[in-house]
């Protein structure tokens, strides 16, 4: 007997040509032998977990990293074959791979398409080669443009491009230049993720900033970049559907929306997180340990209390500009949102941070989106 509970799958492929200076993701270079053993471990883990997912219908698969496009294509194909054999994939499932320019040529991209991958997420970050160099990226704008052109030729009709603002040495003008270059691609991408650089502890950038060696845009320029992103992308026909994500009609990322709506998901690979049966856990972060025992490396298993589930429902759901559904809240928890959060909601509406976009919905206002972290704190119950 099989049900139709929805599930998302995430595969973490931690290999990168070299480490970017701002990056604190679980990623880094690996030898071809390490990569081969890791990919085999991923397949083993995927097959071993399939039994616990018999009742689920997989709505999206996301190959993230790291730089999945550095992986051997035959091994990626084997992984996707194994996923198709072991899991029930929805006919219209979204299959995304993250690609970095300079790591995927036309041949690779055609093989991804033939393997059923229907969405690409390309890490550009900046169209300015000086900024790219300062970030420690391995590619130039030209290499990005070449990858993008080849992706279109390979038949990809759903492409995301990542851009970043508040970079060292970046002016408002050069950031707008990046947006303009991305928007002038032919045809322009269906989706744009626009994040502001965050200095993460443990990264070379963090250390350099501590020593006063990073020339970062001042706060006013940073805010201007943020506001210009919204203005420019709206003018170009992109809807802002999440704090940092913009898409043309019908191209919001299904996988990420599922995450914000608390759809259940299983993460495979080092450090990959999962949420299933209201339990969160993470795989070990140690690559060697993972490869030795990809099935027995779950850590930090946390069964969520009802209060924690309610908090997550609000924190994650409010990131989406469509907001959260009052009816859905009641259905999930057997109590109305008014009963649990009535007082907080009224206060935040008075402050101009929340509003009701339509009957039965609650969402952050423009101002609320700008200060979302502050608003979310008010929804803490524990």
Taking contact as CB under 6 A, which single stretch among the options 63-71, 84-92, 182-190, 302-310 is the one that binds ligand SF4? 63-71
CB of 360 to ligand SF4, least distance (A): 39
Cis, bond preceding 66 (omega within 30 deg of 0): yes
CA distance 45 to 93: 21
Pick from 66, 258, 271, 368 the residue near ligand SF4 by CB under 6 A. 66
For ligand SF4, the closer of residues 19 and 37 by Cβ is 19
Contacts of residue 346, Cβ cutoff 8 Å, sequence gap at least 6: none
d(CA 163, CA 5): 34
Output 164 or 182, the one with its CB closest to ligand SF4: 164
d(CA 149, CA 177): 19
Q: How many CB atoms lie within 10 A of CB 224?
A: 16
8 to 47: interface string for ligand SF4, x by CB under 6 A? --------x--xx--x-x-x--------------------
| Residue numbers 273-292 binding ligand SF4 by CB under 6 A | none
Q: Give the pair of three-digit tokens for residue 210.
A: 């501590």
* Residues pairing with 160 in the sheet: 121, 191
Closer CB to ligand SF4, 138 or 159, in the complex: 138
Nearest distance in Å: CB 70, ligand SF4: 9
In SS3 terms, 257-294 reads as HHHHCCCEEEEECCCCEEEECCEEEEECCCHHHHHHCC
Name the residue nearer to ligand SF4 (CB basis): 69 or 321: 69
Size of the site for ligand SF4 (CB under 6 A): 11
Preceding peptide of 187 cis, ω within 30°: yes
DSSP designation for 27: -
Helical residues (DSSP H) of 50-198, grouped into ranges: 73-86, 106-114, 129-135, 141-153, 172-183
**Binding to ligand SF4 in span 152-211, by CB under 6 A:** none
Q: How far is the CB of 17 from ligand SF4 (least distance, A)?
A: 8
CB of 65 to ligand SF4, least distance (A): 6
Tokens describing residue 21: 């200076």
- Comparing CA positions, the residue from 248, 281, 283 lying closest to residue 268 is 283
Rank residues 67 and 270 by Cβ distance to ligand SF4 and give the closer one.
67
Instruction: Give whichever of 16 and 291 is closer to ligand SF4, judged by the CB atom.
Output: 16
Q: Using CB under 6 A, which of the segments 62-70, 196-204, 268-276, 369-377 binds ligand SF4?
A: 62-70
Among 53, 63, 65, 238, binds ligand SF4 (CB under 6 A): 65
Site for ligand SF4, residues 99 to 138, rule: CB under 6 A: 100, 123
Closer Cβ to ligand SF4, 123 or 368, answer by number: 123
> CA–CA separation, 94 vs 250, rounded Å?
12
Q: Does 67 bind ligand SF4 (CB under 6 A)?
A: yes
User: Which residues contribute to the site for ligand SF4 (CB under 6 A)?
Assistant: 16, 19-20, 23, 25, 27, 65-67, 100, 123
């Amino acid at each position: 007997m099989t049900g139709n509970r929805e599930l998302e799958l995430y595969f973490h492929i931690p290999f990168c040509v070299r480490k970017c200076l701002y990056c604190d993701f679980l990623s880094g270079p690996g030898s071809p032998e390490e990569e081969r053993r890791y990919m085999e471990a991923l397949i083993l883990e995927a097959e071993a977990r399939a039994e616990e997912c018999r009742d689920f219908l997989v709505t999206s698969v996301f190959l993230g990293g790291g730089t999945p496009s550095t992986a051997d294509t035959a091994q990626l194909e084997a992984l996707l074959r194994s996923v198709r054999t072991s899991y029930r994939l929805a006919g219209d499932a979204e299959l995304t791979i993250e690609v970095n320019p300079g790591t995927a040529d036309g041949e690779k991209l055609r093989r991804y398409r033939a393997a059923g991958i229907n969405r690409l997420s390309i890490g550009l970050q900046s169209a300015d080669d000086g900024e790219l160099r300062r970030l420690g990226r391995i590619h130039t704008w030209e290499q990005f443009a070449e990858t993008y052109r080849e992706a279109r030729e390979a038949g990809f009709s759903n492409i995301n491009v990542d851009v970043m603002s508040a970079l060292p040495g970046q002016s408002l003008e050069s950031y707008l230049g990046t947006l303009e270059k991305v928007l002038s691609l032919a045809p322009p991408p269906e989706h744009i993720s626009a994040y502001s650089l965050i200095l993460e502890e443990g990264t070379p950038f963090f250390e350099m900033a501590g020593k006063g060696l990073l020339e970062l845009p001042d706060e006013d320029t940073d805010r201007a970049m943020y506001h210009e992103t919204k203005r420019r992308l709206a003018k170009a026909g992109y809807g802002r559907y999440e704090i940092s994500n913009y898409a043309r009609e019908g191209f919001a990322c299904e996988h990420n929306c599922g995450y914000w709506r608390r759809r259940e998901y299983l993460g495979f690979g080092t450090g990959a997180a999962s949420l299933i049966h209201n339990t969160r856990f993470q795989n070990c972060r140690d690559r060697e340990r993972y490869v030795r025992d990809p099935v027995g490396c779950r850590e930090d298993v946390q069964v969520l209390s009802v209060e924690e589930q309610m908090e997550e429902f609000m924190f994650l759901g409010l990131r989406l500009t469509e907001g959260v559904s009052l009816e859905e809240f009641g259905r999930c928890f057997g109590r109305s949102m008014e009963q649990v959060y009535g007082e907080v909601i009224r206060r935040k509406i008075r402050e101009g941070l929340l509003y009701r976009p339509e009957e039965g919905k609650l969402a952050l206002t423009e101002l609320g989106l700008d200060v979302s972290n502050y608003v979310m704190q008010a929804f803490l119950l524990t």
